Structure 1
Amino acid sequence: MTLALVAGRGDLPALVAAGAQTPPLVCGYEGVPLSGLEAELTFRLETLGTLLLELGNRGITQVCFAGALERPALDPSKLDAETAPLVPLFMEALKSGDDGALRVLLELFEKTGFEVIGAHEIAPDLLAQGGVFGSYWPDAQMRKDAAVAAAHILEMSPQDKGQACVAANGHIVAMEDARGTDAMLGDVNDANGGILFKGPKAGQTRKIDLPTVGPETLQAASDAGLRGVIVDAGDVIVLHPSECKTLADSLGLVFWARTGE
């Protein structure tokens, strides 16, 4: 066993584990329930240094991060001796936006000698394949809204806010923040039949935190009164695509992975 899977919430970790050639060593964050997996090692921010040592002792050479984790708070009383020297790095990361914090984490593992690989490198079928999922096709307005939304995410990339927004009639209605996509959609009151768009920020690493959609995303978009969910093919992970296709049809929702944009 040479691969460790640092697993968070949601279905993605189990799907990645299923796509691995050999079962990975599953590492779970303390207090975060896993779906379809059991953690062999658990850790918290204050014991990350010990985790790095343990991974090395077990012959781990590659690490993959999959699943959602809220940005943790640092509790000095729980620091162990191996992690204490990393506190300045942690404090800088916790002041950064989501992408900044992830980059610090990525660099920490790489500097320790591990190769960090993306979930899509283990399970490439998870990446959105170009085309329409289901029976409903995007109209001209939805295509325009998708272009507006994609441009907005790129424009907002330096602020490190999020990977999703809602657009309607050529205007941005809502933008994802640290609370996540579901919270943003919960705040949408009158989207005028707009669309949810998800895509990566400019310069975003593909090793950690690629945008992800799944059946729950489609349901939340429909509940918010949207007419479609649009993603960039090859840049967004789709969980349970067959289920998404069936659900999109039952909701009368467009689900489109656009290409060549």
Structure 2
Amino acid sequence: MAAFSREPGRGRVAILAGAGNLPTHVARAIRSAGEDPFIIALSAEADGDWTSFQHERIGTGDFAAVERIVRVNGIDRLILSGSVKRRPEWREIRPTWKTLARMPGVVRTLLRGGDDQVLRMVIALIEGAGARVIGAHEVAPDLVATLGTLTSIEPDAASKRDIVAGREAALALGLLDVGQAAVAIGGRVIALEGVEGTDEMLARVADLRRRGRLSTSRKGVLVKFCKPGQDERADLPTIGAGTVRGLIEAGLAGVAVEAGRSLLLEREAAISAANEAGIFIAGVTRED
């Protein structure tokens, strides 16, 4: 995949930043390619340090502010990056004139829709404001998880069976637009990701392990896959050094993510920590 490069004559690129390290990685990739991204930081979510970037903080549901920033700063491309833990209440939504006519549908989706439904709605609203939404993987291809085992530790036969079981569960869960991840131990699915996210799911598994609810002789695997039909411009499955720490606490043998459609943050640190702990990181496909 080619690295992101500045396109002559184009407008400015912006990042709508939520929580976590991903927005920072994406911003640095854009800057290293010769562009200066504008950061639209969600005030209740974004936890990065944006003092070295031109930025503005806005409320999570402030669509009017997004439209204004896009217009005033000549932004023609926008990247959704980082996690959003809490959806805005309907009272927090600040619509534009264009969204007013769609308000019943917007509120209904925010309150009742699955994550992918919400992201598709947000993408449509942003593109209606005049900025094309692009994926984080398009500007930071070095973050994309590649096919094969990335660590010196290889999954054994038991782990391969767990990868198959976890993959089937993750894809079934994705059809419900609930989560992207599952944990399988001994070929049996023992945890599914909900709105709490991967880290808290791993913490649940660690607690089950401490309480003797899980076998001590079988380790198990975390599996993360894109939801079937997911718009890849937002919310690609992501792991990093923090995930490795969660795997260690949960006593798991490793993690398998969808190759080419998942992101690996802090690659060197994550792989080094996994090798030291005897844990594997693998990129797999839906057909493996």
TM-score bracket, normalised by the shorter chain, equals over 0.9
* Residue 196 (structure 1) aligned with residue 211 (structure 2): no
Q: Structure 1, residues 109-159: CA drift from partner, whole Å, max 9, x if none? A: 122332100000001111002222222110112112111211222222231
Paired residue type of 2:269: E
Structure 1 residue 87, shift from structure 2 partner = 3.5
Structure 1 residue 35, shift from structure 2 partner = 2.2
Structure 2: how far apart are the matches of 1:81 and 1:177? 29
Which SS does the other structure have where 2:163 is aligned? Answer: helix
> Is the CA contact (8 Å cut-off) linking 1:133 and 1:248 kept in structure 2?
no
Paired residue type of 1:236: S
> Is the CA contact (8 Å cut-off) linking 2:163 and 2:184 kept in structure 1?
yes
Paired residue type of 1:26: I
Structure 1: how far apart are the matches of 2:169 and 2:88? 30
Q: Structure 1, residues 156-196: CA drift from partner, whole Å, max 9, x if none? A: 22311111110111111100001101111111112630000
Aligned residue for 1:97? 114
Structure 1: how far apart are the matches of 2:22 and 2:61? 25
Which SS does the other structure have where 2:149 is aligned? Answer: strand
Structure 1 residue 211, shift from structure 2 partner = 0.4
Matches within 5 A, 1:64-143: 64-74=79-89, 76=91, 80=94, 82=96, 85=100, 87-94=103-110, 95-143=112-160
5+ unaligned residues in a row in structure 2: which ranges?
Answer: 1-10, 209-213
Structure 2: how far apart are the matches of 1:88 and 1:105? 14
Structure 1 residue 79, shift from structure 2 partner = 5.3
* Residue 34 (structure 1) aligned with residue 47 (structure 2): yes
> Is the CA contact (8 Å cut-off) linking 1:133 and 1:244 kept in structure 2?
no
Structure 2: how far apart are the matches of 1:79 and 1:216? 32
Structure 2: how far apart are the matches of 1:256 and 1:46? 37
Q: Structure 1, residues 34-61: CA drift from partner, whole Å, max 9, x if none? A: 3243461111134222321221222110
Structure 1: how far apart are the matches of 2:61 and 2:161? 46
Paired residue type of 2:96: E
Matches within 5 A, 1:206-225: 206-225=232-251
Paired residue type of 1:174: A
TM-aligned CA distance change 1:31 to 1:81, over 3 Å: closer
Which stretch has the larger CA shift, 132-141 or 58-67? 132-141
Once superposed, what is the RMSD of the aligned Cα atoms?
1.9
Paired residue type of 1:32: E
Structure 1: how far apart are the matches of 2:228 and 2:95? 37
TM-aligned CA distance change 1:46 to 1:144, over 3 Å: closer
* Residue 52 (structure 1) aligned with residue 62 (structure 2): no
Paired residue type of 1:198: K
Equivalent position to 1:237, from 228, 246, 263: 263
Paired residue type of 2:171: L
Paired residue type of 1:12: L
Aligned residue for 1:180? 197
Which SS does the other structure have where 1:61 is aligned? Answer: strand
Structure 2: how far apart are the matches of 1:166 and 1:41? 38
TM-aligned CA distance change 1:200 to 1:104, over 3 Å: same
> Is the CA contact (8 Å cut-off) linking 2:170 and 2:182 kept in structure 1?
yes
Matches within 5 A, 1:126-165: 126-165=143-182
**Greater than 4 Å deviation, 4+ residue runs:** 78-81
> Is the CA contact (8 Å cut-off) linking 1:215 and 1:239 kept in structure 2?
yes
Which stretch has the larger CA shift, 30-39 or 90-99? 30-39
Structure 1 residue 93, shift from structure 2 partner = 1.8
Equivalent position to 1:23, from 36, 44, 58: 36
TM-score (normalizing by structure 1)? 0.92
> Is the CA contact (8 Å cut-off) linking 2:70 and 2:131 kept in structure 1?
no
TM-aligned CA distance change 1:79 to 1:73, over 3 Å: closer
TM-aligned CA distance change 1:198 to 1:46, over 3 Å: closer
TM-aligned CA distance change 1:195 to 1:43, over 3 Å: same
